[in-house]
Structures are given as C-alpha cells and as structure tokens.
Amino acid sequence: MTALLQQNIASHISLSEDETEAFCNLFQQQVIKKKSFLLREGEVCRFEGFVTRGLFRVYHIDQNGFEQILYFAIENWWVTDIDSFTNEKPSQLYIEALEDSTVLLISKKNKEFAYANLPKIEKLFRVMTQKTHVALQRRMIDNLSKTADQRYLDFREKYPNIYSRLTNLQIAAYLGISHEFLSKIRKKLAENK
C-alpha cells in the first residue's frame, strides 16, 4: 500500500530508499467503508491522510443545512482538515468515504518527528502546500468570475476520473449550485451538441 505514497513523494522531492522507508513507516493504514466518516464536525483532526484506494468528499454544512463540498480526494491525493490539524481545534468539516476506501494516516507527532529527523520531508510538505494554495486560489477566482455552466464544464474536463464516480447531487454541492440548476445546465449542454 505504500508504493503509491512512495511514487507521490518521488514526484515532489528526491529521497533515498532509507529515507523513503523511514517516512512511510510513520503512517498507519486505515480502511474506511463507504458512507463512513474519517472526520466529523466538532472532532479535532489528528491526521493528514494519503488516499491509496477509494474516494472521499470533504465538506461543510452551512447554517441553512446546505452541504458545501470543498474538495474530493481520490487515489494519490492527500486529505485532511488542515486548520483543525495544525491548530488542534474542533473541525468545521466532515470527511466521508464515498466508496470503500483505504487511506494512510500520519499523526502530527509523527509528522513533527519526520521534520526533525528527515529534513527533506519539510520541503515535501512545503511544495504540496504551495500547490494546494494555487489550486484553492484558482478555484476562488473561478467561483467569482465564471458562470456555473463554465465551472461545470471545467470540472468535467479537469477531473474526468472523479466526475464519473460522483452523483449529480455531489457535483452540484461542489459547484455551489442546486441539483435542479445542474440538471438545467446538463440539459442545455445536451441540446447544444
């Protein structure tokens, strides 16, 4: 199960075999059944996770009871509530498995151990954090400047391997629109073909 994690690390930084093995040994594997939660609102997030199998959604429920999906995490992606994990405060998020999934989890203590004993790991997380910030910034700009139609088409094009695994309801929650509005968009696009 760590082969995918090793490939992910190698795509960001160069580690020796010993360093890679030492880092991977700091993770614990957890199997999560479909519709089960890795994290619930109000809990403190005690992990950063690397998905080796399956699909997760990371979401918040607003004051009106509407689900707002921040992101999905599939194989070879990381998943966490970085605010809760970093600041050790109760989460505002849910992390739910949408499929039977397997994730490798690293605790804050083990991550700090890696920083102290495997200095290149700090670079790994810095590079990943920068990429995450870029993705979030682009998503914010898209949400402010693009129509729902454009955001839907972009999502479908950018994430075809996620898109095909989701329900229309989940896609709508990610795009910040109603299920009904998504149906209208899909109908309009089908008519324009």
Tell me the domain boundaries of the chain: 2-117
User: What's residue 165's pLDDT?
Assistant: 96
User: What's residue 192's pLDDT?
Assistant: 83
As a residue count, the chain comes to: 193
Residue 33 has pLDDT above 90, yes or no: yes
Residue 193 CA to chain centroid, in angstroms? 32
| pTM of the complete model beyond 0.85 | yes
Confidence of residue 189 (pLDDT cuts 50, 70, 90): confident
CA 50 – CA 52 distance, rounded (Å): 6
3-class SS string, 129-181? HHHHHHHHHHHHHHHHHCCHHHHHHHHHHHCHHHHCCCCHHHHHHHHCCCHHH
Total Cβ atoms within 10 A of residue 107: 15
Higher-confidence position of 1 and 122: 122
CATH superfamily of 2-117: Jelly Rolls (2.60.120.10)
